[in-house]
Amino acid sequence: DVKVTQSSRYLVKRTGEKVFLECVQDMDHENMFWYRQDPGLGLRLIYFSYDVKMKEKGDIPEGYSVSREKKERFSLILESASTNQTSMYLCASSLRGGRTEAFFGQGTRLTVV
Amino acid sequence: KQEVTQIPAALSVPEGENLVLNCSFTDSAIYNLQWFRQDPGKGLTSLLLIQSSQREQTSGRLNASLDKSSGRSTLYIAASQPGDSATYLCALRGGTNAGKSTFGDGTTLTVKP
């Protein structure tokens, strides 16, 4: 079975902190994605990566950056956390191409106080 | 821009009932459609993937159909059980989004014992 693992289920951080959310997949997938999910707004794509060191902005990249130094790991970075970044963050991965199945991690509930 | 709508937003049924969840979309130039299940506070679990060339997929008590010409997909759940209670989301891949997924807001299903 494909496994996508996010490093934390719950995080509480202070405003202004630099926050790292880590995601690891074990199926040699080329594509990796970071979403946030908010009530009433659904899932929104923050960034995605289709290869090592490659990244593309999604729909809401402001305030975030990403890093993909190894194929299996995709990190989301909040440069200076703000309260409006309190959300559920979901990582996903898939094989290259648009016809493949996407698999999600268990989610990280981030609270910024 | 692809728009995905899931109606109803919430559904409550007695145990044992057969039910249909709906997903409609505006851009039929898709690669695939994927149905997910999400339990409260958790990540997304993939249920079924339908490629654009397919009309339906089945897994156990679940059957998903795809009609690109009308921009609709349905998820049929047979003999519902309390354990089926969750939020069900559909996601469209491809079309004008060039391989990224667009998600509906989900239907929250409650199956009463």
CA distance between the termini of chain B:
41
Q: Can you give the pLDDT of all 113 residues of chain A as single tens digits? A: 669 999 999 999 999 999 999 999 999 999 999 999 999 899 999 999 999 999 999 999 999 999 999 999 999 999 999 999 999 999 999 988 767 889 999 999 999 99
E strands along A26-78, which residues?
31-38, 42-49, 56-57, 64-70, 73-78
Instruction: Name the closest residue on chain A to residue B93, using Cα atoms.
Output: A98
pLDDT tens-digit series, residues A57-72: 999 999 999 999 999 9
Beta carbons of A109 and A19 less than 8 angstroms apart: no
Please state the φ and ψ torsions of residue A58, each to the nearest 5 degrees.
Answer: -95, -145
CA distance B93 to A10: 29
Taking an 8 Å cut-off on Cβ atoms, the answer to whether B94 and A101 are in contact is no
Whose tokens are 């996010």? That residue is: A6
CA distance B50 to A79: 38
Instruction: Name the closest residue on chain A to residue B34, using Cα atoms.
Output: A101
Task: Report the SS3 class of residue A57.
Answer: strand
Positions in chain B whose pLDDT score sits under 50: none
Structure tokens at B86: 């969750």
Q: Does A42 touch chain B (CB under 8 A)?
A: yes
- Identify the pLDDT of residue A100: 81
pLDDT tens-digit series, residues B24-37: 999 888 889 999 99
- Identify the pLDDT of residue B33: 94
Beta carbons of B58 and B43 less than 8 angstroms apart: no
Q: Does A92 touch chain B (CB under 8 A)?
A: yes
Which burial class, exposed, middle or buried, applies to B12 when counting CB atoms under 10 A from its CB (0-12, 13-18, 19+)? Answer: exposed
CA distance A78 to A82: 9
How many CB pairs lie under 8 A apart between chains A and B? 57
